[in-house]
Amino acid sequence: MTPPRLWRWLLHAAAPRADRRFVDADLGDEFDERVARDGAAAACAWYARQARRSIGPLLRARVTRASQALVNLPGVLSMRDLRSDLLFFWRRATRRPLVPLIVVLTMAVGIGAVTAVFSVAEVVLLRPLPLPDSGRIVRFFVTIRNGGTYPSVNYHDFLDTERTSQTLSAAAAFEAQATTWRTDGGPEPLPLVRVGPSYAKVLGVTPALGRMFDAAEFLPGGPPVAILTDRFWRRAFGGDAVAIGRSINLDGVQTRIVGVLPAAEFLFPAAAEIWVPLVIAPDSYLNSRNSTGLSALARVRGDRSVDEARSEIATIGKRLAQQYPYLSGRRVPEIRILAETLAAPVRPTLLLLSAIVVAVLLIAATNIADLLLSDAASRGREFAIRAAIGGATARLARQIVVESLALAAVGGIGGALLAPWLIQALIALYPTPLPRLAEVGVHARAYGVGLGATLIAGLLVSVPLIRAAGRHQLASVLRDGERGSSRRGRRLTSTLVVVEVALSVALLAAGVALARAFATSASSDVGFSPAGTLTFNIAPSDSKYPDSAAIAGFYSRLLPALRQLPGVTAVGTTQFLPFTPGQWGDNFVRVGTSDRAPDLPSTTIQMISPGLPEALGLRVVSGRAFTAADSLAAPRVAMVNETLARQQFENAPLGRDVIFQKITWRIVGVLNDKRHTGVLDPPQPELYVPWEQFGRYTGWVVMRTNVAPLSALPAAKEVLRAIDPTVAMTRPGTMDERVAAVIAPERFRATLTGTLGATALILAALGLYGVMAHAVSRRTHEIGLRLALGETPARVRRRVVRGAIALSAAGIGVGLLIAYWTAPYLETFLKDGATARDAGTLLLVSAVLFAVSVLAAWIPARRAARLDPAQVLRSLG
Amino acid sequence: MPKGDFIGEFELYVLLAAQHLGDDAYGVTIRRRIEDRTGREVAVGAIYATLGRLEAKGLVSFTLSDPEPIQGGRSRKYVHLTAAGRRALNTSTDAMMRMIDARPAPARGRTR
Q: Are A490 and A775 in contact (CB under 8 A)?
A: yes
Distances (CA, A) of A20 to A382, A807, B34: 26, 31, 21
- Residue B47 inside a domain? The answer is yes
Verify whether the Cβ–Cβ distance A22 to B41 is below 8 Å. Answer: no
pLDDT of residue A704: 96
pLDDT of residue A93: 76
Verify whether the Cβ–Cβ distance B46 to A21 is below 8 Å. Answer: no
- pLDDT category at A393 given cuts 50, 70, 90 is low
Residues from B in contact with A at Cβ < 8 Å? 26-28, 31, 41, 43-46, 48-50, 52-53, 56, 64, 74-77
For residue A68, list chain B residues with Cβ-Cβ distance below 8 A. 56
DSSP state of A541: -
pLDDT of residue A782: 81
pLDDT of residue A211: 92
Is residue A10 exposed (0-12), middle (13-18) or buried (19+ Cβ within 10 Å)?
middle
Alpha-carbon distance of B70 to A851, in angstroms, equals 49
For residue B77, list chain A residues with Cβ-Cβ distance below 8 A. 19, 22
Question: How much is the ipTM here?
Answer: 0.81
- Tens digits of residue pLDDT in B50-105: 988 888 888 898 887 766 655 555 677 889 888 888 988 888 888 888 878 766 66
**Per-residue H/E/C for A376-415:** HHCCHHHHHHHHHCCCCHHHHHHHHHHHHHHHHHHHHHHH
- Looking at per-residue confidence, does A642 or A40 come out higher? A642
Q: Select the residue from B28, B48, B79 to test the A interface by mutation, using most A Cβ atoms within 10 A.
A: B48
Task: State the nearest Cα–Cα gap between B80 and chain A, in angstroms.
Answer: 16
- Residue B28 inside a domain? The answer is yes
- A33 near B CB under 8 A: no
- Tens digits of residue pLDDT in A240-271: 888 899 999 988 889 999 999 998 878 888 88
Verify whether the Cβ–Cβ distance A57 to B43 is below 8 Å. Answer: yes
pLDDT of residue B106: 63
pLDDT of residue A149: 80
- Residue B112 inside a domain? The answer is no
Which of B49, B75, B77 is facing A61, going by the closest CB pair?
B49
Alpha-carbon distance of A705 to A569, in angstroms, equals 5
Phi then psi for A599, rounded to 5 degrees? Answer: -85, 80
For residue A23, list chain B residues with Cβ-Cβ distance below 8 A. 27, 44-45, 48
Q: Chain A window 61-120: which residues touch B at a Cβ cutoff of 8 Å?
A: 61, 64-65, 68
- Looking at per-residue confidence, does A570 or A866 come out higher? A570
Buried b (16+ CB within 10 A) or exposed e, B9-36: ebbbbbbbbbbebeeebbbbbbbebbee
For residue A26, list chain B residues with Cβ-Cβ distance below 8 A. 26-28, 31, 44
In the predicted structure, residue A638 carries a pLDDT above the cut 60: yes
DSSP state of B23: G
Instruction: Specify the CATH number for the domain of residue B100.
Output: 1.10.10.10
Q: Are A290 and A600 in contact (CB under 8 A)?
A: no
Residue A709's contacts (CB-CB under 8 Å, 6 or more residues apart) are: A532, A533, A534, A703, A734, A736
Verify whether the Cβ–Cβ distance B52 to A19 is below 8 Å. Answer: yes
Buried b (16+ CB within 10 A) or exposed e, A423-434: beebeeebbeeb
- Residue B111 inside a domain? The answer is no
- Looking at per-residue confidence, does A155 or A349 come out higher? A155
- Residue B61 inside a domain? The answer is yes
Which of A49, A53, A58 is facing B48, going by the closest CB pair?
A58
Task: State the nearest Cα–Cα gap between B42 and chain A, in angstroms.
Answer: 8
ω before A57 within 30° of 0 (cis)?
no
Residue in chain A closest to B56 (alpha carbons) equals A65
Number of inter-chain CB pairs under 8 A, A vs B: 69
Task: State the nearest Cα–Cα gap between A396 and chain B, in angstroms.
Answer: 18
Verify whether the Cβ–Cβ distance A23 to B56 is below 8 Å. Answer: no
- Residue B42 inside a domain? The answer is yes
- A23 near B CB under 8 A: yes
- pLDDT category at B4 given cuts 50, 70, 90 is very low
Q: Strand, coil or helix: what is A186?
A: strand
Task: State the nearest Cα–Cα gap between A848 and chain B, in angstroms.
Answer: 48
Task: State the nearest Cα–Cα gap between B51 and chain A, in angstroms.
Answer: 10
Task: State the nearest Cα–Cα gap between A425 and chain B, in angstroms.
Answer: 58
Task: State the nearest Cα–Cα gap between A385 and chain B, in angstroms.
Answer: 17
- A8 near B CB under 8 A: no
For residue B26, list chain A residues with Cβ-Cβ distance below 8 A. 22, 26
In the predicted structure, residue A474 carries a pLDDT above the cut 50: no
| Mean pLDDT, residues A519-539 | 89
Cα radius of gyration (chain A): 37
pLDDT of residue A772: 78
- Tens digits of residue pLDDT in A282-296: 877 778 777 777 899
Verify whether the Cβ–Cβ distance B41 to A49 is below 8 Å. Answer: yes
DSSP state of A126: I
Residue (of A119, A134, A16, A29) closest to A69 by Cα position: A16
- A30 near B CB under 8 A: yes
Task: State the nearest Cα–Cα gap between A122 and chain B, in angstroms.
Answer: 52
- Residue B34 inside a domain? The answer is yes
- Tens digits of residue pLDDT in A767-794: 778 777 777 777 777 888 888 888 888 8
Q: Mean pLDDT in chain A?
A: 83
For the ranges A142-156, A366-380, A841-855, the one whose mean pLDDT is highest: A841-855
Residue in chain B closest to A26 (alpha carbons) equals B28
Range of the domain at B30: 9-68+75-106
Which of A27, A65, A68 is facing B44, going by the closest CB pair?
A27
Task: State the nearest Cα–Cα gap between B70 and chain A, in angstroms.
Answer: 14
| Mean pLDDT, residues A475-495 | 55
Task: State the nearest Cα–Cα gap between A30 and chain B, in angstroms.
Answer: 8
- Looking at per-residue confidence, does A299 or B49 come out higher? A299
- Residue B17 inside a domain? The answer is yes
Looking at the DSSP bridge assignments, the partners of residue B13 are none
Weakest-pLDDT range from A193-207, A378-392, A591-605: A378-392
For residue A11, list chain B residues with Cβ-Cβ distance below 8 A. 45
* Domain count along chain B: 1
- A27 near B CB under 8 A: yes
For residue A57, list chain B residues with Cβ-Cβ distance below 8 A. 43, 45-46, 48-50
Distances (CA, A) of A801 to A29, A504, A578, A656, A804: 43, 20, 55, 75, 5
- Tens digits of residue pLDDT in A41-58: 888 899 989 888 888 888
- A55 near B CB under 8 A: yes
For residue B43, list chain A residues with Cβ-Cβ distance below 8 A. 50, 53-54, 57
| Mean pLDDT, residues A696-716 | 89
For residue A60, list chain B residues with Cβ-Cβ distance below 8 A. 49
In the predicted structure, residue B3 carries a pLDDT above the cut 50: no
Residue in chain A closest to B42 (alpha carbons) equals A50
DSSP state of A620: E
Alpha-carbon distance of A250 to A275, in angstroms, equals 12
DSSP output for A227-263: EE-HHHHHHHHTT-GGGTT-EEEETTEEEEEEEE---
Residue in chain B closest to A69 (alpha carbons) equals B56
